[in-house]
Amino acid sequence: MSLARILVVDDFYNDLESSARSLERQGFDVVRASGACEALGIFKRDPLSIDGLVLDNNMPETSLERLHEGADFSAVDSSLGRELFDQQNNIRSLVSPYLISGYPSNAGLLLASAVRSKGFFGEIIIQTHYPKDAQLLKDKLGLKVIEKNGNWEFTSQYLRERLQGTNVIPVELNYDETSEAYDSEISLSIPGHTELHNCIKAVMGEKYFGLQPHVVELGIGTGITAEAVLQSAPRSRYRGIDFSKNMMGVAKKRLKDYNVNFVLGDYSLISLGEEEKNDFVVSVIGIHHQESNYAKKKLFYRVGQSLKKGGAFIFGDLVTYRDQREAAFNDALHYHHLVTHMTNERALKEWAYHHKFLNKLAPLEDQVQWLKEVGFRKVDVVYQKFNTALIYAVK
């Protein structure tokens, strides 16, 4: 599977091909567009199918003179159309396009603004040598600016870092070495672990008992969550994805009496069943290992795409909070829980290190918002304790 899908936009064919081929050599899946309007059409069809944007700012489809004069974006009159800016302030920054700018006043910057209004979420970095352009970017859009041009090694490295999915491999988490001890340690290390699974069992039993739903689990691990789900809905057609072979071996023994299809791989990179559509997607204590906010929201989008209308996504995870005092307070409670529940020094060191240095926590409030932004019509926090939360989202 390619690193990510990148949309390259340039009205000059030779530059378009040079940019696109440079990225393809680095392992990216590249979509080409020869102008701002064509690129915008791609975004309108499926705004979250593109992971990154490489954009020449010098395209002749419109002018940004009125922006230089201080005009509001909603007043910009261009060939791209006023309707592009109707929702200008409704999109929050989460995904990482990489924009290459050569000139201070043309269609590239306008396109950058337009794709935000169409659902392209993320931190935008524009490359420019023009101080006036750079100041405009900072003042009008709050963008970061890099003063480089045409450095494809730099561009590729930046995109790889920003578009990375899972931030660890099994050996870094000690999963393969401790898979036999994992069950007891995970239940002790996560506040509310038992209560969280009781909630999942109740939801599955109420919604699917006696039925044969298609269920996908992101990070099946040793099968703890799968067992809870299958006890409540034993006829489920279950697909469990995990990147640890040893952990999955334990799960296979635990779930040998159920209909489970085991898939070895990183769920941020492989199919979630978008073709046949799922009734239910579940994940417990794993999504916090997505490297960035972009990666988490992109995963939420992919989960939504894999679900039938009316299907549900329930995930329990470690989270933080927007309010810094609330975040610090719950962190303290989490560490206190570790100190009082771990049975030996090795386990305490391992799980404390894991939480402090490997977990990439996102605010609970943000994750609820992201789920709504990618198309879930009903999102509820159904359980919460310290840094542990369980979210239930219906498509």
Q: Which of these three, 101, 135, 163, is where a domain ends?
A: 163
The answer, yes or no, to whether residue 1 has pLDDT greater than 50, is no
Residues 55-101 have pLDDT tens digits of 765 565 444 443 333 333 333 333 333 333 333 333 223 234 444 44
Q: At 52, which amino acid appears? A: G
User: Contact, 304 vs 47, CB < 8 A?
Assistant: no
Q: What is the mean pLDDT of residues 300-324?
A: 95
Q: How far apart are CA 175 and CA 251, in angstroms?
A: 13
> Are residues 261 and 281 part of one domain?
yes
Q: Which of these three, 163, 191, 224, is where a domain ends?
A: 163
> Are residues 178 and 139 part of one domain?
no
The pTM of the full predicted model, rounded to 2 decimals, is 0.73
Q: How far apart are CA 101 and CA 131, in angstroms?
A: 12
Domain that holds residue 83: 5-163
The answer, yes or no, to whether residue 21 has pLDDT greater than 70, is yes
What tokens appear for 191 in the block?
């506040």
Q: How far apart are CA 260 and CA 252, in angstroms?
A: 8
> Are residues 174 and 133 part of one domain?
no
Q: At 231, which amino acid appears? A: Q
> Are residues 185 and 128 part of one domain?
no
Domain count, the chain: 2
> Are residues 197 and 124 part of one domain?
no
> Are residues 186 and 59 part of one domain?
no
Q: Can you name the residues that pair with 6 across neighbouring β-strands?
A: 30, 52
Percent of the chain with pLDDT over 70: 67
Q: What is the pLDDT of residue 194?
A: 94
> Are residues 310 and 203 part of one domain?
yes
> Are residues 197 and 118 part of one domain?
no
Q: What is the pLDDT of residue 86?
A: 33
pLDDT band at 292 (very low <50, low <70, confident <90, very high): confident
Kindly report the CATH number assigned to the domain that includes residue 347: 3.40.50.150
> Are residues 130 and 75 part of one domain?
yes
Residues 24-60 have pLDDT tens digits of 887 788 999 887 777 777 877 776 677 777 776 556 5
CA distances in angstroms from 326 to 27, 202, 330, 386, 387, listed in the order given? 41, 29, 6, 9, 10
Kindly report the CATH number assigned to the domain that includes residue 72: 3.40.50.2300
Among the ranges given (148-162, 183-197, 229-243, 381-395), the one the predictor scored with the smallest mean pLDDT: 148-162
> Are residues 148 and 266 part of one domain?
no
- Compare 210 and 327 and report the one with higher pLDDT: 327
Residue 181: other Cβ atoms inside 10 A: 14
Q: Which of these three, 163, 193, 211, is where a domain ends?
A: 163
> Are residues 155 and 118 part of one domain?
yes
3-class DSSP string for the chain:
CCCCEEEEECCCHHHHHHHHHHHHHCCCEEEEECCHHHHHHHHHHCCCCCCEEEEECCCCCCCCHHHHCCCCHHHCCCCCCHHHHCCCCCCCCCCCCEEECCCCCCHHHHHHHHHHHCCCCCCCEEECCCHHHHHHHHHHHCCEEECCCCCHHHHHHHHHHHHCCECCCHHHHCHHHHHHHHHHHHHHHCCCHHHHHHHHHHHHHHHHCCCCCEEEEECCCCCHHHHHHHHHCCCCEEEEEECCHHHHHHHHHHCCCCCEEEEECCCCCCCCCCCCCEEEEEEECCHHHECCHHHHHHHHHHHHHHEEEEEEEEEEEECECCCHHHHHHHHHHHHHHHHHHCCCHHHHHHHHHHHHHHCCCCEHHHHHHHHHHCCCCEEEEEEEECCEEEEEEEC
Nearest to 375 by CA among 298, 322, 320, 319: 298
Q: At 311, which amino acid appears? A: G
> Are residues 348 and 238 part of one domain?
yes
